[in-house]
Each structure stands twice: as C-alpha cells, then as structure tokens.
Amino acid sequence: MSDTTHEYAYLDNGDGTQVLPEVLEAMLPYFTESYGNPASLHQLGLAAEEALDEARESLATSLGCAASELVFTSSATESNNLALAGLRAVNPDKKHLIISPIEHSSVRNLAKHWAKKGFLELTELEVDDEGRVNPESLKQALRPDTLAVSIIHGNNEIGTIQDIETLGAICREAEVPLHIDAAQTLGKIPLNLHELPVDLASFNAHKLHGPKGVGALYIRKRVKIRRQFEGGPQEGNVRPGTENVPAIVGFAKAAEIAVRDMDKVTAHVNDLTQKLADGLMAIPHVRLNGPAINSSERLPGNLNLTFKYIEGEAILMSLNYQGVYVSSGSACSSRALTPSHVLTSIGLLHEEAHGSIRFTLSRLNTEADVTKAIEVTKAAVERLRAMTAFIPEEHSERESEHATTFYKKKND
C-alpha cells in the first residue's frame, strides 16, 4: 500500500511504526502555531485546549466510548501502571490480583513486584499452547478479595487475541474489574469499548503509525481509580501534568486513519503475512508460535517462528546486517538474556524460545520486503546452522515433516 522504497525491509512494526504523513501534518501546527499550554486562558492556550478536546472526542469515536472516559498518558506502560495502581489505592482491602502468564512486562513486572513485597497475592491463569487464557481457570481463581483481572488483549509476541467477551462476562458476574492491555489491538481489529465487558483499557499511538510518547487509559464511568502522583487537575484530576498536545492530536489522527482503513489494510497485511509464512516455513526445523496465520484469533501481520538449533539473536543480527529489521520479542525486553516468558508459557523449551524471531508487518510493507526477508532469512539460517554441531541428522527428516504437519494443521 506504499510507494515508499527503502534499501531495508522493516518488519518490526509490533515494536514501533513509521508516522504517516497525514498524522505528521496534523501535529505540526501545535509545535509552531497553536503551541500554547491548554491550561492557559489566552488565545494560544484556548486553541491548544480546543485541539485537545477535539482529539479526545475523535479517539473516543474510534474506541466506541465517551470522551470523558479517556485519560491521556505518556504510553501504554504508564496506562497499565496507572490502571492497576490506581485501583489498588482505592481498594486497599483487595489483596489478590489475577493476570495471564503472557502479559507485557509493564503488567507482569508490577504484579510480581507487589507479590514479592507482600502487598498482595498473585495468580497467573492457565493458557493453552497457542496462548489462549482458559476461562475455567479464571472462574476458579476469582476470590472475594480479588482487586482486578488484567489480560493482554492481543499478545505483542505471538499475536494471540483473547476472548474478552467470555472473560469479561466472568468478571462481571463476580463484580471484579477487568483491565485489558490493548496497545496491539487498536486499529487492527474492531473495538467498541461500550460493547465489551471491560472496565479499563490501555492504548498507545506508536503501534498504529502515530507518534511515540503518548498513550491513553480508558476508565469506564462507574470505575474509580486514584492518581499516582501530584500536580495540577489535568486529565480529570487523574493524571496531572501539561498534556502533550501535538502527540495527542497525532494519536487521534492515527487511530482515525487506522479504523477508517482497517478492512483494506488487514487484507493487504494478511496477504503479505501468508506469503512470508509460506516462504519461511519451507525452511526445515521451523515451527509457528501462536494461533493460525491470518485467523481471527491472531493479530494481523504477526508472525512468530522458532528456528531450531540457532540462537534467535544470531539470526536477528544476521538479518540486521542484511537490512531486514525484525525482533526476537518485545522491544521492552529484547536485551534480556532470559528466554521469553510468553514462549515458555506456551510450552517451548528454553532453547526453542531463544531461537524464536518475530516478524510484524504493517500497511507500509510491500511484496519486495517479504521477498527480501525470505531470501535473507533462508541464507542466514543455512549459514548459522552450518556453524553448529547440534542438528541431529538422523532426526532431520522426521522433524522437517513434523514442522510441515504442524504448520498445515494450524492453518487448516
């Protein structure tokens, strides 16, 4: 969908995307013309305030909620922390938190920190081998003192989209708030927050061709949370500090474009993802992680593969040298030496998790990107495997057949 030609193939859109020209154009006046503080009462301040209000209304329309239910933040990470810490501050008697084992680090690390300090008890729900939360495990985990349930809506590594309708209904029946991390799903799948049984939801802009450094937290009207640091009365007295007006305007515009073009972009991205999967799954000893490619249970453009007998970091660096930019997981944890907790949670061995690469595509990718990625990856895998003595030749044919069967089964 893009005429832009690069010498490189950028396939790391799950970590960050290129800002669209239309988004940048919408932002520019608030750097150089209407640059006042939206809390100021002079004309430049009032112009900034008007832009802020319009952006909030626009984003609310994209999300299917009321503008008054949105609080702007610096990121989805901040939104996740504000949601959970804000709930805990209002409900000090609630000493139990439920999460999935495949949460983003901003939820997982906070929850484990609280549990380690003895602030509350933590329950991690069961997931199947494709990352789906087991609703029965949620039912069994709920307690009278459960503070909240926090579930990542679309997983940032393996693309699994959770059945929020079912999980939310269980939470509603138990009268326990449900928070979702929806940073990866906004603009990729239809969202209507007033129709979903969700009480809080976190978002950001840089996963949908908006600017970095801006996020939002949806807080359903009946839900109360407490601000986590002191300052002015901005953002409904929930998140003090002068709002980043240019970024917020860009966020709203990016969401508007993503929702407007969703069907067309999804078809484009699904086509490219299938071609990429077909090319890479032809390599022996490769397995797909997460739900079937292009299924309704997987984020469009997400492809996570394990390349057996090779370190993922070695593949990543080889691809980087050849101008193919991918990820070995989330950028928030890509420098960690431990294997991905998401991949080990769905049953991968540590060495398999270490040999996994995530390819994530967007509206700006082309067939040339896919062709380059397939060619470069095949060459890198062949070269790296030639350097290792760990491939059991007597099992090569059997494992290759298993990988092909596994792939076909997941896509039938």
pLDDT one-digit tens code per residue, 70-89? 999 999 999 999 999 999 99
The answer to whether residue 371 sits within a structural domain is yes
- Can you give the residue range of the structural domain that contains 373? 9-17+262-411
The answer to whether residue 32 sits within a structural domain is yes
pTM of structure: 0.91
CATH number of the domain bearing residue 28 = 3.40.640.10
End-of-domain residue from the set 241, 260, 279: 260
The answer to whether residue 183 sits within a structural domain is yes
Output the six-digit token pair for 5. Answer: 């030609």
Beta strands in 308-392 (DSSP E): 324-325, 356-360
Cα-to-chain-centroid distance, residue 294: 17
On whether both 253 and 382 belong to a single domain, the answer is no
The answer to whether residue 1 sits within a structural domain is no
On whether both 255 and 323 belong to a single domain, the answer is no
End-of-domain residue from the set 238, 260, 282: 260
On whether both 379 and 271 belong to a single domain, the answer is yes
In the chain, % of residues over pLDDT 70: 91
On whether both 300 and 376 belong to a single domain, the answer is yes
On whether both 224 and 289 belong to a single domain, the answer is no
109, containing H or E segment? helix 105-117
Instruction: List Cα–Cα distances, 202 to 119, 180, 257, in angstroms.
Output: 23, 6, 19
Of 342, 364, 401, 397, which Cα lies nearest the Cα of 102? Answer: 342
pLDDT given for residue 339 in this prediction: 86
Predicted confidence band of residue 384 (pLDDT cuts 50, 70, 90):
very high
The answer to whether residue 91 sits within a structural domain is yes
On whether both 77 and 103 belong to a single domain, the answer is yes
Sheet with 70-73: list strands edge to edge: 70-73, 215-219, 200-204, 178-181, 146-152, 96-99, 121-124
CATH number of the domain bearing residue 396 = 3.90.1150.10
The answer to whether residue 2 sits within a structural domain is no
On whether both 365 and 396 belong to a single domain, the answer is yes
What's the chain's Rg over C-alpha atoms? 22
Q: Are 360 and 330 in contact (CB under 8 A)?
A: no
On whether both 249 and 194 belong to a single domain, the answer is yes
Q: Are 234 and 243 in contact (CB under 8 A)?
A: yes
pLDDT one-digit tens code per residue, 162-184? 999 999 999 999 999 999 999 99
On whether both 245 and 393 belong to a single domain, the answer is no
pLDDT one-digit tens code per residue, 289-344? 999 999 999 999 999 999 999 988 999 999 999 999 999 864 454 455 678 999 99
On whether both 291 and 231 belong to a single domain, the answer is no
pLDDT given for residue 328 in this prediction: 86
Please give the positions annotated as active site: 332
The answer to whether residue 3 sits within a structural domain is no
On whether both 74 and 219 belong to a single domain, the answer is yes
On whether both 169 and 209 belong to a single domain, the answer is yes
Dmax over CA atoms of the chain, in Å, equals 77
pLDDT given for residue 338 in this prediction: 79
Q: Give the whole-angstrom CA distance, residue 181 versus residue 329.
A: 17
* The total number of structural domains that make up the chain: 2
Predicted confidence band of residue 3 (pLDDT cuts 50, 70, 90):
low
pLDDT one-digit tens code per residue, 32-62? 999 999 999 999 999 999 999 999 999 999 9
